[in-house]
Amino acid sequence: MARDEELKKRWGEVVEKLSSKFADGEILDLDGIIYLIGVQELGQLHRTFKKDEKLNLMHIAICRLLEPYGYYEFDYFDDQGWPHYVVKESLPSLKAGEQSILMKSAIVNYFLEGEFIS
């Protein structure tokens, strides 16, 4: 199977499983999935987040997702348990479609590693 087809298939599996588990049948978009990954990475699953915290959760997720690609490196946890990352390499200039493919690929790899999908 071609790499693009495999990514599309696995992405569909991620969206379907997460949407059924967390969105009451609504289809989660890329930002929603990134947010869920941020909550998972923070580990504070049963609390309500303020607007600025939600943005921070998405930042945590993006750092974690792009860490295997060499763009970020985990640094430390602060007093409230929030992970912090340092930039290892600047992200390349990508078009919107290329950014989407990079993030979907990183998300699929994240869930493959966690054995959420196969």
CA distance 71 to 89: 5
For residue 105, the enclosing domain spans 3-112
Give a yes or no: residue 117 inside a domain: no
| Cβ–Cβ < 8 Å for 57, 49 | yes
> In this predicted model, what pLDDT tens digit does every residue of 8-39 receive, in sequence order?
999 999 999 999 998 887 999 999 999 999 99
Q: Is there a domain that residue 25 lies in?
A: yes
Q: What is the total count of domains within the chain?
A: 1
**What is the predicted pLDDT for the residue at 96?**
86
pTM for this prediction: 0.92
Beta bridge partners of 76: 84
Distance CA 30, CA 50 (A): 20
